[in-house]
Amino acid sequence: MTPANSALSIALTSLLAAGCGPISGEDGFVGGDGGRDGRDAGVDAQTVCDEQDFSIDRQPTKLLLALDMSGSMVSKYTSARNGIVNAITNLSGQFHLGFNSYPMYPYSAQCGIAPDVLFDTAPGNETNILNWLNTHEPQTGAGDPLVVQIDALLNGVGYATNFTSPAVPGETYLVIVSDGDDCCGPAPSYSCSNQWTTELVDRTERLLLAGIKTVVVGYAGADDATMTAIALAGGSPFSTYLPANDETALQGALETIGAAVVGCSFAVDVPSGSTDQDAVNLYFDNVLLPYEPGCASGMGWDWADPAHTTVELCAGSCDQLREGTIDNVTAKFGCPSVQID
């Protein structure tokens, strides 16, 4: 199943209990489906909730694509560009996408980078990124300043502010596409005579501490040891780098990443009035997904914030969503949350 047909394209709907009214019930409880209506939580049939449509929206993942545009990519760029363009087209609208090339374009120094990324993560960036890719090429003589690129994400003032800011919601991933290791090292004492694996791992670990996970795609001749070390430190679902030797493989690698990092947080459209937001039940394709405070079992969902405005799927349920086996995520508000026994 391709990402375009997977859980990345989810119909998200919910129902809000806006009020209650008396009814009669044969056995003193509402319904008979083993708890989805609140039976297990002890909801008496004398009060049944009226339902009103409300929204529950998946918080999109922030994904910044950092493309190696050094001199070694000159002969490989056409196929690399085609693979990236196809992947972005297929994943369009499913992420807050950003893009940068390193070194800066056009480069004024072999190992320099621009004061900001070309496109910070935001909705609707796809067309601008595709246009840029189709009108630019790598530069002969340009270096590969990956350490400097990551340092800018860690330390740059006003650099990729949407992508790096925890205040902008969504899981955050740096996706590096490169055909080699760093041939610059840290600024300002650039050197291409050393291998900068230790420095790259250090920066990648610092990114992870800042809430940014790193995924690596090694394109056509990438340094295996360096790419593997970065991927292992990146904290993403991919603990080794994804090799890609042609445009089809690169497209597939990027789409695989897209399917694996779809967001598992959902923002609840907070209702007005006195509706109890603690009375929530979630469903995968109309099957109850139980509430699991702390996610001890790995299945179900929990509140992601004290104000109860965002729900987070537990790891096992998140994996189900990312595997593309779930078509609809829905929620009902008004009956006590059914918990795992």
Alpha carbon distance 5, 324 (integer Å): 8
Alpha carbon distance 186, 113 (integer Å): 12
Alpha carbon distance 308, 183 (integer Å): 47
Amino acid at 11: A
pLDDT of residue 64: 98
Alpha carbon distance 172, 200 (integer Å): 18
- Each residue's pLDDT, cut to its tens digit, for the chain (341 residues) gives 444 343 333 334 443 333 333 222 332 222 333 333 333 433 333 334 444 444 567 788 999 999 999 999 999 999 999 999 999 999 988 899 999 999 988 877 788 899 999 999 999 999 999 999 999 999 888 889 999 999 999 997 899 999 999 888 888 999 999 998 788 988 887 877 777 999 999 999 999 999 999 999 999 888 888 999 999 999 999 999 999 999 999 999 999 999 888 888 888 775 555 456 677 888 888 898 999 999 999 999 999 888 888 889 998 998 888 777 787 888 887 777 888 76
Alpha carbon distance 235, 252 (integer Å): 21
Alpha carbon distance 101, 335 (integer Å): 50
pLDDT of residue 192: 76
Q: Are 246 and 79 in contact (CB under 8 A)?
A: yes
Amino acid at 232: L
Looking up tokens 């050094």 gives: 70
Cβ-in-10-Å burial (0-12, 13-18, 19+) of 285 comes to exposed
Question: Considering only CA atoms, which of 320, 270, 317 is closest in space to residue 290?
Answer: 317
Alpha carbon distance 108, 139 (integer Å): 11
Q: Are 259 and 6 in contact (CB under 8 A)?
A: yes
Alpha carbon distance 2, 258 (integer Å): 10
- Helix residue ranges, H only, the chain: 77-90, 126-135, 146-155, 161-164, 197-209, 224-233, 247-260, 315-322
As given in the structure block, the two tokens for residue 151 are 């340092």
pLDDT of residue 185: 87
Strand partners, 96: 62
Report the half-sphere exposure of 198 (CA within 13 A, side-chain side): 2
- Full-model pTM: 0.74
Asked if the bond preceding 106 is cis, omega within 30° of 0, the reply is yes
Q: Are 212 and 164 in contact (CB under 8 A)?
A: yes
Which residues have a Cβ under 8 Å from the Cβ of 177 and sit 6 or more positions away? 65, 66, 67, 68, 80, 84, 217, 219, 250, 254
pLDDT of residue 25: 30
Alpha carbon distance 290, 295 (integer Å): 10
Alpha carbon distance 302, 312 (integer Å): 5
Q: Are 144 and 102 in contact (CB under 8 A)?
A: yes
Alpha carbon distance 18, 15 (integer Å): 9
Alpha carbon distance 214, 134 (integer Å): 25
pLDDT of residue 82: 96
Q: Which domains does the chain have, with CATH numbers?
A: 3-58+267-333 (no CATH), 62-260 (3.40.50.410)
Angle of helix 197-209 versus helix 224-233 axis, rounded to 10: 20
